[in-house]
Amino acid sequence: MNITIIGTGYVGLVSGTCFSEMGNKVTCVDIDTNKIDQLKKGIVPIYEPGLEAMVLKNKTNGNLFFTTDFKAALAATEMVFIAVGTPMGADGAADLQYVLAVAKSIGDVMDKHLIVVDKSTVPVGTADKVKAAIQKQLDKRGSALTFDVVSNPEFLKEGAAIADFMKPDRVVIGAESPYATDKIKQLYTPFLMNHERMIVMDIRSAEMTKYAANAMLATKISFMNEVANICERAGADVNQVRIGIGSDKRIGYSFIYPGSGYGGSCFPKDVKALQKMATEKGYKAQLITAVEDVNDRQKLIIAHKIIKRFGEDLSGKTFALWGLAFKPETDDMREAPAIDVVKALTKRGAQIKAYDPKAMTEAQSFYLKDIKNIQYCDTKEACLPQADALILLTEWKAFRSPDFTFIKNQLKNPIIFDGRNQYHSFGLKEKGFEYWQIGKNSSLKDE
């Protein structure tokens, strides 16, 4: 099948590459000339395990192409996926300007029947707007061409996106046309050979499914962090509570790990967008609002513990920081707890020595570029000498089982602030450490 993907960001590049892996001819389009030039050379602008190798393989095999020529790409396709960004607007709603600009361009240049697929995460009702934008341009041209609009939300986890796409839990299709539904089914059939996981529904329900899924997962995270904070004040151990409730099959263990809150490109944006959508429909989404409020507070929980331990004035204090990305196996720092923690500590005079396997360029060039009191180290060990404490904020595999004797000998004080509760079972107090974690230490006043 000949497919065009508009947008070579995270969703567009992963989707296009995985479709090409199954033998489809895929053309990825972007207005960013530099990005397209780099992709043509096999240089992938984002880190995602397995993505670069798959891009190079399919580019070499003649299944994957990159271009800035929108019109030429549409001329050779039967299906076009819109996978451009939907950033959060000032009012919290998803900004659809890029989606609708693509729809307008489709209406301007299409020369045959097309299936237009919304792959971007968009609010309920977006398909109607896309349809109207395309039809308006066709009417201006006096064209009688027809088209279908389909919603096909993505459910990719950063750090595991290739596996998620190649072996999906489900493929959700929102469509009105039997023809379009059948074509999408044909496209996805190679990904679903072992299990039938295709779910067909109306377009608005498909659009809502993505928001509901992310909001549900964010709710589990905030709920567990709320429980952790109660445990801390009540003298319970949240790590044991997690095991106790996770053993209930109705709850399960996924997304109930206490920590420093969620971040990334999806959960924060989608939770806010769902709130905004509810408000626009005249409904006050109290639970969704609380999920965000809890998360905003949780991002600073480790900073508050450090201030409790060392005082408000952190001048002369140096902290080793392991982890900048919002989660392991990605270089994505959008809404990462590390941003809040670093700013809170350096504002009080602290020096930070940071290491992350993939996200340091992102931190230096954008997210923490204005922070003066931060040094980026080449290894995790280089952060440690004479630091007043070690802070863990991202659970990379490289951090999961370190040499604690080495850490203790390198630090000025044997203190660890664990923002992901990775070390709670290592017996660190018996090893001579002062160990601060989420949901078990001495009571903290509410901030």
- In angstroms, what CA-CA distances link 115 with 10, 147, 317? 22, 6, 59
Asked if residue 159 lies in contact with residue 14, where contact means CB atoms within 8 angstroms, the answer is: no
Which amino acid appears at position 394 of this protein?
A: T
Query: DSSP character for 384?
Result: -
SS3 277: helix
28 as an active site residue: the answer is: no
- Tokens in use for 222? 């905030």
Residue 336 to residue 368: CA distance in whole angstroms:
11
Q: Tell me which H or E stretch contains 204.
A: helix 203-234
Q: Which of 236, 336, 254, 330 is nearest to 295 (CA)?
A: 336
Give me the half-sphere count of Cα atoms (radius 13 Å) on the Cβ side of residue 437.
22
Marked catalytic residue, from 28, 231, 266, 377: 266
Q: Which of 86, 79, 30, 28 is nearest to 54 (CA)?
A: 28
- In angstroms, what CA-CA distances link 187 with 36, 48, 164, 184, 340? 25, 23, 16, 5, 42
Which amino acid appears at position 282 of this protein?
A: G
Residue 80 to residue 29: CA distance in whole angstroms:
10
Give me the half-sphere count of Cα atoms (radius 13 Å) on the Cβ side of residue 382.
10
Strands of the sheet with 389-392, listed across from one edge: 374-376, 351-355, 318-322, 389-392, 415-418, 434-436
Q: Which of 148, 66, 74 is nearest to 109 (CA)?
A: 74
Query: What stretches of 326-414 show up as alpha helix (H) in DSSP?
Result: 337-347, 360-362, 404-410
Name residues whose C-beta falls within 8 Å of residue 400's C-beta, 6 or more positions apart in sequence: 422
SS3 88: strand
Q: Tell me which H or E stretch contains 29.
A: strand 25-29
Asked if residue 413 lies in contact with residue 434, where contact means CB atoms within 8 angstroms, the answer is: yes
The catalytic site residues sit at 266
